[in-house]
Amino acid sequence: MYKIIYLNGRYMPIKEASISPLDRGFLFADGVYEHIQIYENKLFYPEKHLARLKRNLNAINIPALHSNAEWLTIFNTLIEKNHIDSGSNHIYLQVTRGADDHRAHVIPEKLTPTIFALTDISYLTKSIEGLAKGSRAVTIEDARRRDCCVKAISLLPNILARTYAVEHNATETIMLRDNLVTECASCNVFIVKNGIIMTPPLSSNILPGITRELTLELAAKNSMPYKEQPITKDELQNANEVWITSSSREIEPITTLDNKPVADGKAGPIWYKMITLYKDLY
């Protein structure tokens, strides 16, 4: 696992990789990241991830570092060096502002950003049959920062939320802010009600997930009714279907919410149609 990683222009065994404790990623969570799926040995929609990376770097004033072609060369070299040729894997990429010679809050000019990338198995990716067994989620208050539309590494609230889920016999938390669904610790949320697929509209509180975007595109292309609109806790609890989406989990049906079954407690027909369309994308 993580045999050969990429760090600042070099490929090396993970055990040899090191960063300075003065890296602002370590001191201040001053950085952004991407997670790109690899099916067999092919990157899945890397251009969408790279467009988001560019937006996120810009949002926190880290310079754009590479062209798409250069990023793809790094990712494909990692795939090659790690002999990834089967199964479901991913590229993890993190860019931080880099290390200064002292610790000060104010963003300094002209640091050299730190670029760290690796490949790993995507443990969460499952077959349709595996996904159809359904998952459990619990609701919590959204304690994250505003502007979580930027995919930043300031993830402490997210890891605490995911850990809370596991401690409560679930695999994800669905977060609410002012009684409205935002998202999960690392997924977006969809519900189905009366045949209509719904997900909260993008805002500063919601990460524009690539799987969210692909799901909406598939709904549009296949004439499946959908709406981007706010979802209340009540609407979540009374949905016919609840799904969570992410690059690694794809589209996962939540069949138990806060220890109660979602509708009849089984993965629903609209989910089944959507996951079939999604799996056909790769």
Which active-site residues does the annotation give? 151
User: What's the token pair of residue 24?
Assistant: 């602002």
Q: Which is nearer to a copy of itself, 41 or 154 (CB)?
A: 154
Q: Which is nearer to a copy of itself, 52 or 271 (CB)?
A: 52
Alpha carbon 60 to its chain's center: 19
Residue for token digits 């890296």? 23
Q: Min. distance of Cβ 267 from a copy of itself in angstroms?
A: 23
- Closest CB to a copy of itself among residues 64, 143: 143
Chain center to CA of 15: 26
Partners of 147 in the β-ladder: none
Binding region for a copy of itself (CB under 8 A): 1-2, 5, 7, 14, 17-30, 60-61, 92, 94, 96, 101-107, 116, 118, 120, 123, 141, 143-147, 152-160, 162-163, 166, 185-186
* Closest distance to a copy of itself from the beta carbon of 239 (Å): 25
Which whole-number Å values give the CA distances from 126 to 55, 132, 154, 226, 253, in the listed order? Answer: 30, 9, 28, 25, 12
Long-range pairs for 83-87: beta carbons < 8 A, 24 or more residues apart: 84/38, 84/41, 84/119, 85/40, 85/41, 86/40, 86/41, 87/40, 87/121
**Integer Cα distance of 266 and 255 in angstroms:** 6
- The strand pairing partners of 33, in sequence order, are 94
- Alpha-carbon distance of 149 to 204, in angstroms, equals 5
* Residues listed for the chain: 282
Q: How far is the CB of 222 from a copy of itself (least distance, A)?
A: 32
Tell the smallest beta-carbon distance from residue 57 to a copy of itself (Å).
13
Of 162 and 212, the one with the shorter C-beta distance to a copy of itself is 162
Shortest CB 112 distance to a copy of itself, Å: 15
Nearest residue (CB) to a copy of itself, 29 versus 263: 29
